[in-house]
């Protein structure tokens, strides 16, 4: 893995570092909900704001397109990715299916140490909620649910699940923003605390908690 803080030894490394930094910054802005699906990303504005040339910017946008976060529109440039209502519904359906399969395969747990990933994500969620950091809250939600699926011990299943979450994360961030307008800040934490408590019980208890988890509650 490239050390972004290392001094460049040639133009190629310097350019690569700029690409990585641009990807990280733009990804954070998109997933924090600061940009809306379909919002146009203007190259001239981005190069000035990020302080980079067009070549590394275009490579950064290409990588973000591979992640499903931006899309190139012929003759119109680049915009934040959009999904139709049907796309979002179908992705949530696939997400639910994978979660249910993972839980059925994983529970009951054989040892308490299996819950370390869920506890770490929940701790991150609590801290992010206190700081009102929307991106970190969304990231903690993602991390928690990935840890749930990882309980099954199936790497291919976890990788497939993570690819679904990347596509949904922008919409999940919007859900969290809308939830913040009508609910208490700790409500999301409490929902995941209940999921963690259910994980030490039986599969039916955790599936019941997931059924009422409210992932779609704030979709338009």
The CA distances from residue 177 to 14, 108, 218, in Å, are 36, 34, 9
For residue 169, being part of any structural domain is answered with yes
Please say if the pLDDT value at position 19 is more than 70: yes
DSSP state of 53: -
pTM across the whole model: 0.72
Query: What pLDDT score was predicted for residue 215?
Result: 53
Q: Please check whether residues 74 and 160 belong to one and the same domain.
A: no
For residue 219, being part of any structural domain is answered with no
Q: How confident is the model at residue 29 (pLDDT cuts 50, 70, 90)?
A: confident
Q: What is the mean pLDDT of residues 3-29?
A: 66
Q: Please check whether residues 90 and 149 belong to one and the same domain.
A: yes
Q: Per-residue pLDDT tens for 74-94?
A: 888 999 988 888 988 899 899
Q: Are 37 and 30 in contact (CB under 8 A)?
A: no
For residue 205, being part of any structural domain is answered with yes
Please say if the pLDDT value at position 2 is more than 50: no
How, if at all, do strands 70-73 and 77-80 pair?
antiparallel
Residue with tokens 């690819």: 163
> Which of 34, 53, 80 lies at the terminal end of a domain, its last residue?
80
> Which of 64, 80, 96 lies at the terminal end of a domain, its last residue?
80
Q: Please check whether residues 107 and 44 belong to one and the same domain.
A: no
For residue 60, being part of any structural domain is answered with yes
For the chain, give the mean pLDDT: 81
Q: Please check whether residues 24 and 122 belong to one and the same domain.
A: no
Q: What is the mean pLDDT of residues 24-50?
A: 87
Q: Are 148 and 98 in contact (CB under 8 A)?
A: no
Q: Please check whether residues 91 and 35 belong to one and the same domain.
A: no
Q: Please check whether residues 75 and 16 belong to one and the same domain.
A: yes
Residue with tokens 């308490």: 112
Q: Please check whether residues 97 and 179 belong to one and the same domain.
A: yes
Q: Please check whether residues 36 and 128 belong to one and the same domain.
A: no
Q: Please report, for the domain that includes residue 53, its CATH number.
A: 1.10.10.10
For residue 216, being part of any structural domain is answered with no
Q: Per-residue pLDDT tens for 165-185?
A: 888 877 776 665 665 566 676
Q: Please check whether residues 100 and 146 belong to one and the same domain.
A: yes
Q: Please check whether residues 196 and 95 belong to one and the same domain.
A: yes
Residue with tokens 């409500």: 187
Domain count across the chain: 2
Report the first-to-last Cα separation within the chain, whole angstroms: 40
For residue 172, being part of any structural domain is answered with yes
Q: Please check whether residues 99 and 124 belong to one and the same domain.
A: yes
For residue 194, being part of any structural domain is answered with yes
> Which of 34, 58, 80 lies at the terminal end of a domain, its last residue?
80
Please say if the pLDDT value at position 156 is more than 80: yes
For residue 1, being part of any structural domain is answered with no
Residue 116 structural domain:
85-211
Beta-bridge partners for 77 = 73
Q: Are 149 and 158 in contact (CB under 8 A)?
A: yes
Query: What pLDDT score was predicted for residue 112?
Result: 61
- The rounded distance, in Å, linking the Cα atoms of 210 and 207 is 5
């Amino acid at each position: 893995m490239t050390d972004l803080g290392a001094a460049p030894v040639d133009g190629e490394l310097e350019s690569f570092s700029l690409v990585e930094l641009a990807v990280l910054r733009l990804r954070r802005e998109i997933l924090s909900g600061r940009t809306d699906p379909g919002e146009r990303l203007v190259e001239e504005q981005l190069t000035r704001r990020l302080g980079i040339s067009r070549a590394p910017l275009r490579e950064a946008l290409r990588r973000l397109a591979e992640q499903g976060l931006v899309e190139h529109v012929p003759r119109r440039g680049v915009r934040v990715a959009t999904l139709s209502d049907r796309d979002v519904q179908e992705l949530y359906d696939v997400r639910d299916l994978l979660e249910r399969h993972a839980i059925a395969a994983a529970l009951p747990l054989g040892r308490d140490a299996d819950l370390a990933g869920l506890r770490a994500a929940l701790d991150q969620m609590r801290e992010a909620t206190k700081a009102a950091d929307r991106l970190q809250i969304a990231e903690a939600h993602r991390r928690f649910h990935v840890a749930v699926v990882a309980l099954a011990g199936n790497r291919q299943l976890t990788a497939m699940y993570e690819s679904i979450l990347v596509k949904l994360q922008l919409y999940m961030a919007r859900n969290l923003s809308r939830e913040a307008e009508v609910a208490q800040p700790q409500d999301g934490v409490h929902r995941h605390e209940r999921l963690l408590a259910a994980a030490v019980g039986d599969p039916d208890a955790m599936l019941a908690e997931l059924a009422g988890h409210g992932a779609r509650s704030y979709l338009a």
